Amino acid sequence: MNKEADSVIPYQGLVVSCQALQDEPLYGSHHMVAMAMAAKEAGAAGIRAGGLADIKAIKEAAGLPLIGLVKIQHENSEVYITPTLEDALAIHAAGADIVAVDGTGRLRPDGRTLAETIAGLKRAGAAVMADIATFEEGMLAAEWGADYVSTTLCGYTRETAGTPLPNLDLLERLAAVLDIPVVAEGGISEPRQAADALRLGAAFVVVGSAITRPQWIAARYVQAMRGPVSGGSGEAER
């Protein structure tokens, strides 16, 4: 398989995650469109966006390949990135070129397995990105038909909590054995780390907080001026 030819997003490009939570100052599609346009002007190869309104608005304005998702918390499940097949199909219908779903083995709120979720999206003609946390999850997601595997959730599941990020070892292991594009995401806060990810086999690199979350960016300066600051990059992909 020619992994490069099989990718919706140009190889070795930067994908900028333009997302804001409801309680954050930049919440709202107009803000996220502006972020996406700034990323495009900088040379970004694609955008990662959350929520139907933002996906539609950014796709129309920026015209870049778009990875879409939605974040919803459910009481009966730890899965919050595109937790149900219904959510995933809605994202596809909204215009996302790639639909990102939780690629872990955790219980989904609609009772479907990851394999069933991927199969449902493939029947609808959607390209699927599995956001995984471990090597085994990445291998299974690929086996079940995911078009992309991303390291997004490493460090943010019970099994991987406390893992130093970015986990470039996980990326390198997956890229060495999988015939589908492997994406570097999670904890990438310096340009050097993004370049290292490409060298280790990443198809492309997704960066969120370090580019599009000004309250986190400013806090790093404030903390550094007061004393030592940790090297992490905040929440999983926003």
Which pLDDT tens digit goes with each residue over 20-71?
A: 999 999 999 999 999 999 999 999 999 999 999 999 999 999 999 999 999 9
Q: Which two tokens stand for residue 152?
A: 């997004």
| Residue 69, in any domain of the structure | yes
| pLDDT at 232 (0 to 100) | 46
Reduced to 3 states, what is the DSSP secondary structure of residue 41? helix
User: Which of 23-27's residues contact partners 24+ apart within 8 Å by CB, and which partners?
Assistant: 24/213, 24/215, 25/214, 25/215, 26/212, 26/213, 26/214
| Residue 75, in any domain of the structure | yes
Domain count, the chain: 1
Q: Which residues contact 74 (CB under 8 A, 6 or more apart)?
A: 80, 83, 109
| Residue 134, in any domain of the structure | yes
Q: Quick check: 231 pLDDT over 70?
A: no
| Residue 234, in any domain of the structure | no
Which pLDDT tens digit goes with each residue over 65-74?
A: 999 999 999 9
| Residue 158, in any domain of the structure | yes
Q: Which two tokens stand for residue 126?
A: 């959607």
Helix (H) or strand (E) holding 14, with range, is strand 14-18
> pTM of the entire structure?
0.93
Average pLDDT value over all residues in the chain: 94
**Are the beta carbons of 148 and 4 closer than 8 angstroms?**
no
Q: What is the CA radius of gyration of the chain?
A: 17
Q: Is 216 exposed, middle or buried (0-12, 13-18, 19+ CB in 10 A)?
A: middle
Place of tokens 């100052």: 25
How many Cα neighbours within 13 Å face the side chain of 130?
35
Secondary structure (DSSP) of 60-104: HHH-S-EEEE-B--BTTBS--BS-SHHHHHHHHHTT-SEEEEE-S
pLDDT confidence band for 3 (50 / 70 / 90): confident
| Residue 233, in any domain of the structure | no
- DSSP one-letter code for 45: S
Looking up residue 59, the CATH number of its domain turns out to be: 3.20.20.70
| Residue-range definition of the domain harbouring residue 54 | 14-226
| Residue 26, in any domain of the structure | yes
| Residue 185, in any domain of the structure | yes
For range 114-141, the mean pLDDT: 98
Place of tokens 């490009």: 13
Q: Which two tokens stand for residue 101?
A: 């779903």
**Are the beta carbons of 65 and 29 closer than 8 angstroms?**
no
pLDDT confidence band for 233 (50 / 70 / 90): very low
Q: What percent of the chain has pLDDT over 70?
A: 95
**Are the beta carbons of 183 and 157 closer than 8 angstroms?**
no
